[in-house]
Amino acid sequence: MPIDDSIQNRTFEELFSGPVNFEIPFFQRAYSWERDQWKTLIDDIWEQVIADVTEQMHNESPGEKVTKERLEKHLSEHEHYFGAIVVLEKKNSHPALKCFSVIDGQQRITTAYLFLALVYELLSSKEGLSQNAQAFINDLGGYIKNTVDPKGDDYRLLKIYSNKGDRLPTYLKINKQNPESPSLPVDIQLYNPHKSQIDSFWEYAYKKMKGYSVIELYAFAQAILKGLKIVWIPLDERKDNPQAIFEGLNDKGMPLSSVELLCSYLFKPLIDEVTKQHETIHNEKWLKVIKKVDGEGKFEEYIRNLFSIDKPKMIGRGRKLYASFKSAHKKLDKQTAFNTIEDIAKNVDVYNQIKNPLKPEFKHPNKEISALLIKISQTSMESSIPFTLALMMAHRDGKVNDTDTIVMLNTLLVLLVRRKVCEMKTTKYDVFFPALLGKVINEPNKRKAMIDLMIKEDLWVSNQDFEEAFISKTLYKHTELEFARLVLQEIDKRFHTHGQFPDYSTINTIEHVMPQTLDEEWKSYLGNDVISDVNIERYKNTIGNLCLISRAANSSVGQNPYEKKINSYTDISGLTKDLKGRSVKWDIEAIKSRSKDLSAKGLEVWSWEN
């Protein structure tokens, strides 16, 4: 039955009859339904379609045999609503094919098609078990494969045609060999069997259905073809905007991620159905960047930081990111879209230098810059990334020299460490950092320019406040161990006057001199006045009670009494050597005194004048 242009209930039998392509347009996501949706659909087909029809036939004619003809007739009269399919008919160079873009309903129509293909394969494997199997196979074949000349592209033999890594595994499931297609080399790169939801569907559904009998498989396929009713909604290209409708439908309960929406919006001006250049750009730039940052979630954070540069404040997460870009580019032209994608691809390596500075493949070639990027990363102050990213991009492009880059990175590090030690709020960071580089890049004294802006925005931290925080604020926090190690290592280095430092990769365990949990011997040693002090838990976690030792040493000293601990510490670490030189009772006052001494070294390390 030909598919017409009216809105009405339809069946998959009507949709898949005759030579037809349902193409999943570029702005759609890849196939993403998962086990819960597959199981629900299988259960619904058996419990709400086949069981209802079987019961109805039995009630009408008790004892009469359930035949193929009776089953098909009653299934076609059954109504089980399966959602809407919104389509736009496409101009098509193939004279024998009717071609539609699926604007909404991609997951439903793809799943129905995959189930039919799987039933076809399972019936083929049972061909010798039933005289009806071959007839059933012949019935289903026309709903799965187009019998047309593919004209050099075997993908046209599929009823469902996608280009986001799904079409190759779909073709392989149905035809068991690679297609002849100009898109094959790209699809081979995109196809990852370990991440393909097409493969995951096939594995799950095959295990679930391989035990079905021939008649059960045919009943299942007919339930999909005749029993599942969809609302067919055709769009008019002259009046309807597929992109706007697509976004609107997703706003009403079928949400896409901001990255998917942004991808759709950016590539819309680039789509060229003749050259397919948008697919090449998408695969060679967009997808490669996602892979470089290790996934879509991290890609969103990269885009968010990149797009926030020179903005008055940090762009929000999720839909706010997409809305911000769309608002700034309401009439996105082809060149702007291409330039934006180029910028995303060009700057990802710089972003990785900032986010993953310890990984050898991302390490900055300048040792001093590399060391500063590592330390900035250890502060976990990610609100500063728009500034760091802008600075490192400018440095790469020769707009800022090595000396000024080091000065600005060090000034940033001093700010972040001082404020974090002082436990100061970070709420102003979202409005301070995005546009910071633009305000200081042309200043002759960039450190002074940065500090002046910090003072103006009430972000600057005085030496007095920093010293007091060293004495009284908690440094050791379970969620901030990297930062605590950074502070301890930098202060430990100040005890090594000849610049020969220990291997901090082996002495990287934070040791509490006064244990976090006090046993009876420690309680007796401290006395009741000390252990009843309400501040004792806080002082245990200040810098004065901390040092760096190896993991093995940390396990062995544990709850040991103070004198035994001190004697077991080595002289490799400057912090432990300092402890061994203190002939004191280890109580709160001793911790406070050592914190004050170490604060002097902290002021040397994180000095505004460095």
SS (H, E, C) 113-161: HHHHHHHHHHHHHCHHHCCCHHHHHHHHHHHHECCCCCCCCHHHHECEE
Distance (Å, whole) CA 243 – CA 3: 23
Q: Classify 506 as helix, strand or coil.
A: coil
Residue 254 has pLDDT above 50, yes or no: no
Least confident of 60-69, 318-327, 359-368, 459-468: 60-69
What value does the mean pLDDT take over residues 46-59? Answer: 72
In 3D space, the residue among 548, 559, 485, 479 whose CA is nearest the CA of residue 518 turns out to be 559
In 3D space, the residue among 10, 6, 67, 15 whose CA is nearest the CA of residue 227 turns out to be 10
pLDDT number for residue 219: 87
What pLDDT digit, counting tens, does each position of 405-459 carry?
Answer: 999 999 999 999 999 999 999 999 999 999 999 999 999 999 999 999 999 999 9
Band of residue 180 on the pLDDT scale cut at 50, 70, 90:
very high
Distance (Å, whole) CA 148 – CA 340: 40
Residue 264 phi/psi, 5° resolution?
Answer: -60, -45
Residue 111 has pLDDT above 50, yes or no: yes
pLDDT number for residue 252: 43
pLDDT number for residue 242: 62
- Are the C-beta atoms of residues 457 and 528 closer than 8 Å to each other? no
What pLDDT digit, counting tens, does each position of 379-391 carry?
Answer: 999 999 999 999 9
Distance (Å, whole) CA 264 – CA 341: 12
Name the residue type at position 277. Answer: Q
- Ranked by mean pLDDT, the top range of 71-80, 365-374, 571-580 is 365-374
pLDDT number for residue 250: 53
Band of residue 253 on the pLDDT scale cut at 50, 70, 90:
very low
Band of residue 95 on the pLDDT scale cut at 50, 70, 90:
confident
Distance (Å, whole) CA 1 – CA 417: 71
Q: How many CB atoms lie within 10 A of CB 238?
A: 5
pLDDT: is 270 or 499 the higher one? Answer: 270
Residue 5 has pLDDT above 60, yes or no: no
Report percent pLDDT > 70 for the chain. Answer: 91
Band of residue 60 on the pLDDT scale cut at 50, 70, 90:
low
- Are the C-beta atoms of residues 470 and 540 closer than 8 Å to each other? no
Distance (Å, whole) CA 95 – CA 578: 86
Helix axes 334-355, 367-378, angle to 10 degrees: 90
Q: How many CB atoms lie within 10 A of CB 549?
A: 24
Mean of all residue pLDDT scores within the chain: 88
What value does the mean pLDDT take over residues 100-121? Answer: 92
Residue 288 has pLDDT above 50, yes or no: yes
Distance (Å, whole) CA 156 – CA 126: 28
pLDDT number for residue 251: 46
pLDDT number for residue 609: 83
Using only C-alpha atoms, what is the Rg of the chain? 33
What pLDDT digit, counting tens, does each position of 490-542 carry?
Answer: 999 999 887 788 899 899 999 999 999 888 899 888 888 777 888 898 999 99
Distance (Å, whole) CA 492 – CA 486: 10
pLDDT number for residue 4: 55
What value does the mean pLDDT take over residues 229-250? Answer: 69
What value does the mean pLDDT take over residues 342-357? Answer: 96
Could you identify the residue written with the tokens 């004279």? Answer: 95
Q: Classify 63 as helix, strand or coil.
A: coil
What value does the mean pLDDT take over residues 264-289? Answer: 84
pLDDT number for residue 255: 60
Name the residue type at position 430. Answer: D
pLDDT number for residue 73: 73
Per DSSP, 283 falls in state I
User: Where in the chain are the domains?
Assistant: 8-255, 277-461, 466-605
pLDDT number for residue 333: 93
Q: Classify 404 as helix, strand or coil.
A: helix
Distance (Å, whole) CA 196 – CA 187: 12
pLDDT number for residue 192: 84
What value does the mean pLDDT take over residues 327-348? Answer: 94
Helix axes 258-267, 319-328, angle to 10 degrees: 20
